[in-house]
Amino acid sequence: MPSRILVGIDGSLASRAAVSWALERARSIRTGVVLLIVADDEWGAIGDRDLGELRATAEGVALRELEFARERAGSVDVTAAIAVGAPMLVLASEASAFESVVIGTHKVGTFHGHALGSRGLQLAAVSPVPTVVVPVDASDGRSGVAVGVGGPPGWTEVVRFAMREALRLEERLMLVRAEGPTAVEEQAVLRIVWDLPEASDLSDDIVVRRSTAPPGETLAGVSRRAVLTVSGRPTAPGARGFRPLGRTNGDLLMNAGGPVVIVPFESTAERPVSVPSLVRVSASSDAGG
């Protein structure tokens, strides 16, 4: 059974979109889901009394969202937790123990929300595991899993992730090549893709889309029609703290028209950020201390 999926929640419609997406994926890969709400203590500037109120509010949101998730979970095991700290840092730190981390966004083209929202860009930049950003208003009638191909060494791991998602979703895989690749470059890239272990399982369900537009613009356009759009984020071994997403991923996330996942090429051996232990929440519990 794969590691569980972590979902950052804040009680908004956007976080519920993320919960619903995570439940569907968890069901198909046979794993569980953990909902995490982080009460923002404004870098320790909040006093004990106000902090207690924050925790109580977070507890209430966690219980409500846990009920929402369990009503839709079916066989998926769902638990909830609360923590106090800087939301982006806490989510990034906790994500290292999970298969992926999922957050929601209120509308296409910009990030909103309570504890999440604009910080989603930062989370995608620092998370050591795949980060999924789910718009609340993603339209129906989508098809295909899109992935950008080529780039720094290690990009094949991103394509393999996309291939597994295409197989899981029973969708075709769209390989996206941007900025006018030459025929020689493209053939070299495609040969590498066809040789990947998952390629044989996809049979003829692999197509190539070419564009002369910049990669971020191309992927953002594709995301308006794709079931899922996948892009890679290279990481350097030993790198710590915030790492810029790069123009491609920044453009994609700021203009995403559907669910997007940013996949690190490899999980880096970073020292975990020190955060308070999570407080487990059950449907019958009182507010935690």
Write the CATH number of the domain with boundaries 5-128+272-281.
3.40.50.620
Mean pLDDT per 10-residue segment, the chain (289 residues): 88 93 96 94 68 85 96 96 88 94 72 46 88 83 90 82 95 86 70 87 84 90 95 74 75 90 66 42 44
User: In whole angstroms, what is the distance from residue 42 CA to residue 11 CA?
Assistant: 19
Determine the pLDDT at residue 273: 38
DSSP state of 285: P
Give strand pairing partners of 206.
173
User: In whole angstroms, what is the distance from residue 62 CA to residue 125 CA?
Assistant: 26
Determine the pLDDT at residue 247: 87
pTM attached to this predicted model: 0.83
Q: Is-same-fold flag (5-128+272-281; 145-264)?
A: yes
Determine the pLDDT at residue 227: 96
User: In whole angstroms, what is the distance from residue 19 CA to residue 140 CA?
Assistant: 18
Determine the pLDDT at residue 183: 61
Phi/psi class of residue 260: alpha, beta or left (left: φ > 0; alpha: ψ in -120 to 50)? beta
Answer CATH for 145-264 from 3.40.50.1480, 3.40.50.1370, 3.40.50.620, 1.10.10.10: 3.40.50.620
| Sequence ranges of the domains in the chain | 5-128+272-281, 145-264
